[in-house]
Chain A
Amino acid sequence: MDYNFYLSTMWSVLKALPLTLEIWFFGIAFGLIIATGLTWLRASGSKFGEYFTRAYVFVFRGSPLLVQLYLIYFGLSQFDFVRHSPILWPILRDPMYCTIVAMALNTAAYESEIFRGALRAVPVGQIEAAKAFGMSAFTRFRLVTLPIALRLALPAYSTEIILMTKATALASMVTIMEMMGTAQKIQHDTFRPIEVLTCAGVIYLLLNLSIARLFAWVEYLLSPHLRPAPEQSQQIKPVPEVL
């Protein structure tokens, strides 16, 4: 075993981790914003909102992310108005931005479905109770619907985030030298694909396992009511006399 080769490969791939995380973070952040908009549009009850979000989800969930990425990166620049636009062109000529845009648009479709399901799963009784308390629509959303829905959406959301980590590897297909691109280059230079890809694989796996851990921890924090009650070793304190 050539430990030095493993170590140097590991180190070279790790140096590309910040770039992977950058794509990952911005893809998720913009995706979340778009998904929130889509969920709001879908929940607004308008016919246009429903058809638009349905079509959006159908298109972005039904085709491979690679096709979407190529369409944005290679395809859109065919339009003259895109090439002459001072806003669109700086974004669409840069492979990095294109990857982020493709990932955000793609994940938004999946996330909006997750959020829609979570909103629908909020028990009706809770909302009725909030109404009976005389809460305004905003207070009801802030104090009742949103916290419950967030808690319900979390497991599916964490799965989606892990899919996004895997999706960052596609950036290597449009010349970005993130972890996968770096691994590809080393593999071509050395012709030792098994060793190189194993190194990259270990890093991706550790990354995903830590993300899963993080979400499991957040889920634990958000669900104190689902945990078994602590053992009642201490005596219950008597209610202090008020009078």
Chain B
Amino acid sequence: MDFLNSLMDQLSTAYELLAAGWGLQLLWGIGWTLAVTAVSMMIGAMLGSLVAAAKLSQRGGLRFIGESYTTVFRGEPELLVIYLFYYGGTQILTGVARSTGSIGSTDILNMPSFLGGVLAVGIISGAYQAEVFRGSFLAIHRGELEAARAYGMSAWLRFRLVIMPQVLRLAVPGLGNVWQLTIKDSALISVTGVAELMLTANKAARSTHHSLLFYTVAGILYLVMTSISTPIFDKAERYTSRSFLRPK
């Protein structure tokens, strides 16, 4: 019965600790996690569409750049990319600031932690989004592009009226997967010091010595975030593909 006893102990202290202010901190942590994820997804969408275009390009050089981007950023550990942008950014900023004399020769100019983390996760997310966009583009029927060309549409018009609406529709399920991945990657941003959910749970666990409680709560909150996004993306998928649904 040791197990039950210690479980009951944990539960009774759980309420006290969460009510004593850690609960509110964790809610702020969720807010930061969602902010980090959303900004990273936007950076990733911009980079991803450019990289997808490069991968689909006729030019060998552009294709090579696109391929290298997706291979490198899907093949490296996320932690390494985050360290590279955070500490690497600090290294570059410090170097520049020292040489211009705006800080002393022994001072350090830190990379802003939110910026460094968001850039790193955004770039990783961009590599996955590029694959999603590329797949959706390839799923567009060739005949539609030929028809648009036959109408004399310019490249921009073809992109705006034929390619983009369909890529967006076909990409929704894939983007849902990337969103989930990005939420989970955002937990690693805690190493840069952004007070998102993981770092808040860490702080709470270290200062109260109740690691089990706070990591369990953090795990549950991540589960809530990922499971809430599933029906939202399902709904978005139904909405964007409403003209393709079977009539009831």
Residues B80 and A65 in contact, CB atoms below 8 Å apart? no
Could you count the A-B residue pairs with CB atoms below 8 Å apart for me: how many are there? 131
Chain B residues near A180 (CB, 8 Å)? 77, 79-80
Residues B76 and A205 in contact, CB atoms below 8 Å apart? yes
Min CB distance, B11 to chain A, in Å? 12
Interface assignment of B151: CB less than 8 Å from any CB of chain A: no
Complex alpha-carbon distance, A9 and B147, angstroms? 56
Min CB distance, B69 to chain A, in Å? 12
Query: A71 — nearest CB in chain B belongs to which residue?
Result: B215
| Contact among B75, B83, B188, B213 with A208 in the assembled complex (CB-CB below 8 Å) | B75
| Contact among A62, A166, A197 with B227 in the assembled complex (CB-CB below 8 Å) | A62
- The total of chain B residues at the interface (CB under 8 A) is 44
Min CB distance, A59 to chain B, in Å? 7
Residues A79 and B212 in contact, CB atoms below 8 Å apart? yes
Query: A188 — nearest CB in chain B belongs to which residue?
Result: B87
Residues A79 and B3 in contact, CB atoms below 8 Å apart? yes
- The total of chain A residues at the interface (CB under 8 A) is 46
Q: What string of 1s and 0s marks CB contacts (under 8 Å) between A40-71 and chain B?
A: 00000000000000000011011111111011
Min CB distance, A230 to chain B, in Å? 30
Residues A64 and B198 in contact, CB atoms below 8 Å apart? yes
Query: A197 — nearest CB in chain B belongs to which residue?
Result: B84
Interface assignment of A220: CB less than 8 Å from any CB of chain B: no
Q: What string of 1s and 0s marks CB contacts (under 8 Å) between B1-38 and chain A?
A: 01100100010000000000000000000000000000
Interface assignment of B166: CB less than 8 Å from any CB of chain A: no
| Contact among B88, B198, B212 with A197 in the assembled complex (CB-CB below 8 Å) | B88
Interface assignment of A18: CB less than 8 Å from any CB of chain B: no
> For the complex, would chain A's binding face be called helix, strand, loop or mixed by DSSP majority?
helix
Residues A63 and B83 in contact, CB atoms below 8 Å apart? no
Interface assignment of A170: CB less than 8 Å from any CB of chain B: yes
Residues A204 and B76 in contact, CB atoms below 8 Å apart? yes
Interface assignment of B218: CB less than 8 Å from any CB of chain A: yes
Chain A residues near B90 (CB, 8 Å)? 193
Q: Which B residues fall within an 8 A CB radius of A?
A: 2-3, 6, 10, 71-72, 74-80, 83-84, 87-88, 90-92, 180, 183-185, 187-188, 190-191, 198, 201-202, 205, 210-213, 215-216, 218-219, 222-223, 226-227
- In the complex, given contacts A71-B211, A75-B216, A81-B2, what are 14 additional A-B residue pairs having Cβ atoms less than 8 angstroms apart? A59-B219, A61-B226, A63-B222, A64-B222, A66-B188, A66-B198, A67-B218, A71-B216, A74-B205, A78-B212, A81-B3, A167-B77, A197-B80, A205-B76
What 6 A-B pairs have minimum CB-CB distances, sorted nearest first?
Answer: A169-B77, A193-B87, A74-B211, A75-B212, A64-B187, A78-B212
